[in-house]
Amino acid sequence: MLTSTTGYMILLVFGVFFTGLTIIMQRRSKTKMTAEEFSTAGRSVGIGLASASIIAAWTWAATLMMSSSTGFQYGISGPYWYAAGACIQVLLFAIVAIHLKRKAPKAHTFLEFIGKRFDQKNHKLMMFFALMTNIIVTAMVILGGAIALNSLTGMNVYVAALLIPLTFTIYTMIGGLKASFIADYLNTVMIFVILTIFATVVYLKFGTTTIYEGLRALPESQQMLTMASVPGLLFGMINIIGNFGTVFVDQSYWQRAIASKDSAASKAYIYGGIAWFSIPFAIATFLGVTAAGLGLNITDPDASAPLMAAELLGSVGSILFLVMLFMAVMSTGAAELTAITNIIVTDIYRKSINPTASSEKTLKVSRIVTLSFGLAMGILSVLLFNIGIGLGFVYMAMGIFVSGAVIPLTIGLLWKRATNNGCFYGALAGMVSGITVWLLSANMLSGEITVESLGQLHAMLYGNVTVFVVSGVISIGHALISKQEFDFEAMKDQFKSFDEEEKELQLATEREVI
């Protein structure tokens, strides 16, 4: 076990390093930071950086901890279902990303597109879904980081939850999306390096034969060495369905498409998705499955990865794991923070409060929003922890709350026949019915509604499936019945960058003066 000082040092070192790096880059930059640059990184990011950033945004604390937990519990099917079940959303997102580029080339958020494609009530509902996704993901990321810091260093969990957001809030506030991209790249490279070290040590220290024999000797060996594991499959199904919401309704993924060059938008998701697959697949195989095969005495499966890391390399292993986890927390946290800021600035502030705000004013508001939300997220994580809601629970339940918007959103972007009412009521009814089925099935299966009964695999699965079926049937069914058609071409010129809007405003003012 490391000392709590190590935990504080890691927070301090990485927080100061990334803030310093952002300040240096900002000073060396030849262009002045504008609101447009802050929220879109100049729409000039290439495939490589965008892929790294997508990987960083999708590598949560849960990716490292939960995936290893599935490997420890379900054997070899766990890592596969975690990796494949959460990778396809990124791959499929490539399709919607390129369509957003085509249909709304100058948009800042996907909600801006929704606002023009549908009406106000739909815009507000989708914004509710989007903000809920960002808030839950950020809280979960901080929660995961704080729990890991607490269990590995003994650092106070509440202090950790309040300090973690500070580390990524400050550099995001200074550098905006561009700073987030650079930090994402460094974090992703670091994660790959540390994972490679762990995998190599497993081979050198134990070899695959020892692990295989250990797995065969386990009482539950029937499920540990086969893909035909029913709990593994159930987890896989929840993982697939639940994760659609956290990618498709999360502005941070749309933002990466918006920030990318036209030629990079779709390819970055395909390459990023394939590369991301290797992270949970490798960590869960080399730390989770190996821990089970070696028969380590682990009472909480969620802690299998850090404990296995300590088993491999002692306190060096613990520090490496902590650094890797902290990298994942930082980059996802920064991505979510820029996403929340973009939504609030573009879809609330610029749309309803101050549509004529100058670039300077918009930039100032963006920075205030980033700082406020970063700090508020720490407090929310503490509250969640106090209620007794853990990482695994939030991870699997999240789909029920946010996936209602996935089908309406996707058909709204891809299909000219998607209707306003169909998508609105589909998303709303999907979420309400999903929560209802989840609560009812937890009650019927366990005889009570508690955090524990709601966390059961079957109750989660029924809730997740209901959300998709109901929202899909209503939104697609209504579109087929009503036979309306939308002209995407007509909306193409309705999106303008903040800089263009400011120029137009200046011209209009000059004309008035003349």
Partner 1 sequence: MEDKQLMKDAKMCTRWALGLTFILIFAFPGIMFLTGYNYTLQFFKGWTYLAFAWLIIAGLYISIRPWVEVYMEKRK
Q: Which two structure tokens, joined as six digits, stand for 281?
A: 């697949």
- For partner 1, the binding residue among 151, 285, 304, 381 (CB under 8 A) is 285
Gap between the Cα atoms of 106 and 102, Å rounded: 10
Q: Does 31 bind partner 1 (CB under 8 A)?
A: no
- Those residues whose C-beta lies under 8 Å from the C-beta of residue 10, and which sit 6 or more positions away, are 149, 319, 322, 323, 326
- For partner 1, the binding residue among 2, 57, 87, 344 (CB under 8 A) is 87
- For partner 1, the binding residue among 7, 15, 78, 85 (CB under 8 A) is 85
> Which residue, 89 or 346, has its beta carbon nearer to partner 1?
89
Judged by CB under 8 A, which stretch of 118-126, 272-280, 428-436, 478-486 contacts partner 1?
Answer: 272-280
Q: Does 197 bind partner 1 (CB under 8 A)?
A: no
- Distance in Å, CB of 495 to partner 1, minimum: 15
Residues of this chain, 208-267, that bind partner 1 according to CB under 8 A: 208-209, 211-212, 215, 222, 225-228, 233, 236, 240, 262-263, 265-267
Judged by CB under 8 A, which stretch of 128-136, 186-194, 243-251, 375-383 contacts partner 1?
Answer: 186-194
Q: Does 274 bind partner 1 (CB under 8 A)?
A: yes
Q: Are 463 and 239 in contact (CB under 8 A)?
A: no
Which single residue is written with the structure tokens 């400011």?
502
x/- contact string, 356-375, with partner 1 (CB under 8 A)? --------------------
Widest Cα–Cα separation across the chain:
88
> Which residue, 14 or 276, has its beta carbon nearer to partner 1?
276
- For partner 1, the binding residue among 46, 295, 314, 355 (CB under 8 A) is 46
Gap between the Cα atoms of 261 and 365, Å rounded: 26
Judged by CB under 8 A, which stretch of 43-51, 112-120, 384-392, 402-410 contacts partner 1?
Answer: 43-51
Q: Which two structure tokens, joined as six digits, stand for 267?
A: 């390819």
DSSP 137: H
* Burial group, residue 460, by CB count within 10 angstroms (0-12, 13-18, 19+): buried
CA 168 → CA 151, 244, 340, 374, distances in Å? 22, 26, 14, 8
> Which residue, 111 or 265, has its beta carbon nearer to partner 1?
265
- Those residues whose C-beta lies under 8 Å from the C-beta of residue 506, and which sit 6 or more positions away, are none
DSSP 348-410: IIIIII-TT--HHHHHHHHHHHHHHHHHHHHHHHHHHHHHT--HHHHHHHHHHHHGGGHHHHH
Gap between the Cα atoms of 392 and 318, Å rounded: 21
Judged by CB under 8 A, which stretch of 163-171, 206-214, 245-253, 421-429 contacts partner 1?
Answer: 206-214
Q: Does 415 bind partner 1 (CB under 8 A)?
A: no
Which residues of the chain form contacts with partner 1 (CB under 8 A)?
46-49, 51-52, 55, 76, 79-81, 84-85, 87-88, 91-92, 94-95, 98-99, 101-102, 185, 188-189, 192-193, 195-196, 199, 203, 208-209, 211-212, 215, 222, 225-228, 233, 236, 240, 262-263, 265-267, 269-271, 273-279, 281-282, 285-286
